[in-house]
Amino acid sequence: MRSYCLCLLALVGHLLPLESVGIPLLPLQQVEAEHVDLEGKTLHLVGHVKVIHEIGVLHCDEGTLMLPQEKKDDGAMAVNTLFLKGNVVIDFSDGSHLMADEGEIDCQALEGTFIAHPPTKVTYTSFATNEHQKIPVRATGRALKAKITKTPLGYSLTSMRGEGAVNIEYLRPIPLAHAPHETSDEQSVPTEEKST
Report the distance separating Cα 6 and Cα 30, nearest Å.
Answer: 6
Question: Does residue 135 carry a pLDDT above 50?
Answer: yes
**Beta bridge mates, 50:** 32, 59
87-97: per-residue pLDDT in tens?
Answer: 999 999 988 99
Round the average pLDDT of the chain to a whole number and report it.
Answer: 78
Report the distance separating Cα 14 and Cα 75, nearest Å.
Answer: 10
The residue-averaged pLDDT of 151-176 equals 87
**Beta bridge mates, 59:** 50, 89
Question: Does residue 28 carry a pLDDT above 90?
Answer: no
**Beta bridge mates, 89:** 59, 99
Q: What is the CATH number of domain 2-188?
A: 2.60.450.10
Report the distance separating Cα 3 and Cα 128, nearest Å.
Answer: 36
Q: What does the pLDDT read at residue 27?
A: 77
What residues contact 92, with CB distance under 8 A and at least 6 apart? 55, 56, 98, 154, 155, 156, 157, 184
Q: What does the pLDDT read at residue 129?
A: 77
| Cα separation of the two ends of the chain | 46
Q: What does the pLDDT read at residue 175?
A: 76
User: What does the DSSP 8-state code read for residue 61?
Assistant: E
